[in-house]
Amino acid sequence: MNAQTSLSRFLSGSGIPPNLAKVLLTAAAGGKRISRELRRAGLSGETGITGDKNVQGEVVKKMDLLANEILVEAFRSAGDAALVASEEMEEPLVLFPGAPYSVLFDPLDGSSNVDTGGSVGTIVSVQRVPPDGGLGRESLLQPGSTQAAACYLNYGPATTLVLTAGSGAHLFSLDPDSEDFILTMPSLQIPKRGKVYATNEGQRAYHHPGTRKFLEYLQTPEKSDGRPYSTRYSGCLVTDVHRILLEGGIYFYPADTRDPKKPHGKLRLLYECAPMGMIVEQAGGRASTGRGPISEVQPTQIHQRVPLYVGSPHEVAMAEEFEAGSR
Ligand code: AHM
Ligand code: MG
In the chain, the domains with their CATH numbers are 7-185 (3.30.540.10), 196-324 (3.40.190.80)
List the one residue out of 266, 111, 117 whose CA is nearest residue 200.
266
Residue 162 bridge partners (DSSP) = 152, 171
Is the Cβ atom of 106 under 6 angstroms away from ligand 1? yes
Is the Cβ atom of 122 under 6 angstroms away from ligand 1? no
Q: What one-character-per-residue DSSP string does 30-87 give?
A: HHHHHHHHHHTHHHHT--SEEEEE-TTSPEEEHHHHHHHHHHHHHHHHHT--SEEEET
Mean pLDDT, the chain, as a whole number?
95
Cα–Cα distance for residue pair 254/289, rounded to 1 Å: 8
- pLDDT, tens digit (0-9, with 9 covering 90-100), for 11-68: 999 899 999 999 999 999 999 999 999 998 877 777 888 888 877 777 778 899 999 9
SS3 letters for 191-203? CCCCCEEECCHHH
Cα 144 vs. chain centroid, distance in angstroms?
A: 12
From 71, 259, 267, mutation site for ligand 1 pocket: most ligand atoms within 8 A of C-beta:
267
pLDDT at residue 48 in the model: 81
Rounded percentage of the chain residues whose pLDDT exceeds 90: 87
pLDDT at residue 135 in the model: 87
Query: Ligand 1 center to residue 236 CA distance, Å?
Result: 6
Characterize the bridge pairing of strands 101-109 and 181-185: unpaired
Q: pTM (2 decimals)?
A: 0.96
What are the b/e assignments for 14-28, b being 16+ CB within 10 Å? bebeeebbbbbbbbb
Query: Ligand 1 center to residue 97 CA distance, Å?
Result: 33
- pLDDT, tens digit (0-9, with 9 covering 90-100), for 266-322: 999 999 999 999 999 999 999 999 999 999 999 999 999 999 999 999 999 999 999
Atom of ligand 1 lying closest to residue 234 CA: 11
Is the Cβ atom of 118 under 6 angstroms away from ligand 1? no
